[in-house]
Each structure stands twice: as structure tokens, then as C-alpha cells.
Amino acid sequence: MKLADFEFNPTQMALEFGDKYSLSIINNGYGKDHGLYEIAVFAKGSLTEMPGITVEGDTVKGYLTEDEVNAIIVKMFTITGKDPVQV
């Protein structure tokens, strides 16, 4: 359960964790010139803060390494109890 298990199309991917949460991952946002990623968490289609993943007052997190994105995928699994499914 890591970023390398999924494919970008061409610069973005979305992972659903059950029917409530999804995680958007892009590699053309903040930090793209350094091979970094940006994530956003959605709850039922709306951007949302997610304690432990995003900071209070922000729904987007950028400048993430692949290892940091992998950790976020695992956290989303832990929070939701649902395996990620690429959509």
C-alpha cells in the first residue's frame, strides 16, 4: 500500500477509502520542480481538514516526498479501515 502501487494520469491520481474519503495526489503542484507531491483530502467530495494528515485551517499539504505520501496513504487506511482504490 504505497504510491508506487498506483499510476498517475498523467500528473494526478485519486484514491478512495470507502465511500466517504478520498485522497488527491498530484505531482505538478507545490514542489513539482523538486520531484515532490501535493495532497488534498476530500470527505464526500468536499475538501476537508484531516487531523494527522493536514494542519488545522488547511486542506492541502505540499512539498511531500514519496515516503511522506506513502505514510499518508497508510494513515488514511488506518483512519478509515478501508483499502485505497484508485479512481
Residues 14-60: tens digit of each pLDDT: 999 999 999 999 998 767 778 899 999 999 999 999 999 999 999 99
Radius of gyration of the chain from Cα atoms?
12
Query: 76 is written with which cell numbers?
Result: 488514511
DSSP 45: T
Q: What is the pLDDT of residue 70?
A: 97
pLDDT at residue 9 in the model: 87
Number of domains in the chain: 1
DSSP 31: T
Contact 39, 72 (CB under 8 A): yes
Domain with 27 in it: 3-86
Q: Which of the four pLDDT bands, split at 50, 70 and 90, describes residue 77?
A: very high
Supply the pLDDT for residue 17: 97
**pLDDT at residue 44, as a whole number:** 95
Query: What number of helices (H) and strands (E) belong to the chain?
Result: 1, 6
Q: Model's pTM, two decimal places?
A: 0.91
> Strand 46-47 vs strand 60-64: parallel, antiparallel, or unpaired?
unpaired
